[in-house]
Amino acid sequence: MKYALVIFSLFLSTSLFAQEEWGDVQKNTLTMKELAPVWPGCESGSATQRDHCFKQKLATHIAKNFKYPTDAYKKNEQGRVIVEFFIDEKGLVDIKKISGGTTALQNEAKRNIGLIPKMQKPGMMGGKPKPIKYVVPITFKTGR
C-alpha cells in the first residue's frame, strides 16, 4: 500500500507537470528556418557560408552564361527581366514566372536560369526537402 501511494503521487505530480508544460507549448510560437539548397562546390562550411556561396555561384552563373540576343541588341531592346523560380525538392530549377522586358529578353533570361545545375542538396525545412523560391532580376542594357 505504501508503494502504491508513492507511485500514485509520482504519477500525479508527473501528469500535473506535463499539463503545465503542454500549456506553455501551446502559447509559444514554433518557427523553423529554411535552409538554402547547396550549390555544387558549396558543400562545406556553416549554413550561412553555404548560403553566401550559393548567391556567389548564382551571380557567376548568370554572368558566365549571359548572351544578349542578337536581334534584341540590334534593335536596342533593353530592360529588366524578373525571373521567379524554385529549386525543387530534387534540387532542380522550376521556373514559375518571367516578367518585364521584351519576349526576346525574357527568353534569354529563361534560358540562362534554366542552365542552373542540379543542386547537391535541395532546400530543407524541418529536416525535409522543400522547394525554395528565388526572384532574380536580370538587366539587359546595350550601352549605346
Residue 42: which of 27, 61, 62 has the closest Cα?
Answer: 61
pLDDT by residue (tens digit) across 21-76? Answer: 233 345 566 667 888 999 999 999 998 999 999 999 999 999 999 999 999 999 99
Instruction: Judge whether 76 and 142 are in contact, CB under 8 Å.
Output: yes
pLDDT by residue (tens digit) across 82-138? Answer: 999 999 999 999 999 999 999 999 999 999 999 999 999 999 998 899 999 999 999
DSSP codes of every residue in 94-115: EEEEEESS-HHHHHHHHHHHHT
The C-alpha atoms of residue 47 and residue 56 are separated, in whole angstroms, by: 14
Look up residue 104 and give its three cell numbers.
Answer: 526576346
Look up residue 122 and give its three cell numbers.
Answer: 535541395
Looking up cell 500525479 gives: 12
In this prediction the pTM is 0.74
In the sheet with 79-87, reading across from the earlier edge strand, the strands are 93-99, 79-87, 132-140
